[in-house]
Amino acid sequence: MVIGIIGVGHLAASVLSGLLRAGVDPASILLSPRGQARTLSERWGIPLAADNNDLVSRTDIVLLSVRPVDAPSAIAALPWRTGQTLVSFCAGVAVSRLEAGPADVARAMPLTAAAINASPTACFPASGPAVALLEKLGPIIPLASEEEFEVATVNAAVYGWAQDLIRQSADWATAHGGNAQTMRRLAALTFVAAGRLIAETDRPMGTLIGELVTPGGITELGLDILAKEGQPQAWQAACGAVLTRLSGHATA
């Protein structure tokens, strides 16, 4: 199976790194010759297509990783064929706006942790060659409808916010006398631990958190302050704003 990538920017570089780490043969990949394509081609020995037309005619599955506004035009009037799959990573761009003729179209939302094969990748529909390829980048999160996929796409922004919380925690601890590298590692692995414990059990999240909140203890103290300062409302508002932006892309 030959894999094509149209839109070789930040996300595609992470995806490429993860595919190579997973053992995909560089010779089975073809890059559209823009963005970071020439640099990555030289670094990893991945062939370049002459243009997007050439790429689509020579590949079985095409990953679309251009900016959302560029998505419809990037794939228009290309030689799509039956049996081929287009997988769009473009946030907020509905399948109905991706004209790929007789090719199957799927949407997916990998995170840059794809580079280390640790991306929980939302996918709709979650079937066929798209899943077989994307599961090399981390666990697949199948969505039941495109509406649900859109809601799940907000998580791509939450990923960045989580990294910012890690940075804030590490910076605070460093400013209060901790070693910068030690505090960075501790904060990052604490978030990994918090996520893994929830992901790897079916116990209700309220129960898991309740077990941490000793009356009069430090977790309760902090949660009370975060609530009084409006953190829950701010978080919900940020999620809502992202979904509104995504819905705007879908119809733009």
For ligand NAP, the binding residues (CB under 6 A) are: 6-12, 32, 34-35, 52, 65-68, 70, 74, 89-91, 109, 111-112, 156
Distance CA 211, CA 204 (A): 11
Q: Give the shortest CB-170-to-ligand NAP separation in angstroms.
A: 21
* Least gap, CB of 111 to ligand NAP (angstroms): 6
SS3 content of the chain, % helix, strand, coil (to 5): 60, 10, 30
**Rounded least distance, CB 121 to ligand NAP, Å:** 9
Instruction: Between 52 and 85, name the residue whose CB sits nearer to ligand NAP.
Output: 52
Q: At closest approach, how far in Å is the CB of 166 from ligand NAP?
A: 16
Q: How far is the CB of 196 from ligand NAP (least distance, A)?
A: 21
Q: What are the structure tokens assigned to 194, written together?
A: 């918090």
Phi, psi of 64, deg, nearest 5: -105, 115
Nearer to ligand NAP, 35 or 138 (CB): 35
- Measured distance CA(162)–CA(158) in Å, rounded: 6
Q: Which is nearer to ligand NAP, 72 or 178 (CB)?
A: 72
Q: 239-248 b/e with 16+ CB inside 10 Å = b?
A: beebbeebee
Residue nearest to ligand NAP according to CB distances in the complex:
9
Exposure string of 68-107, with b = 16+ CB inside 10 Å and e = fewer, is: beebeebbeebebeeebbbbbbbbbbbbebbebeebbbbb
- The nearer residue to ligand NAP, 55 or 183, going by C-beta atoms, is 55
Q: Which is nearer to ligand NAP, 66 or 183 (CB)?
A: 66
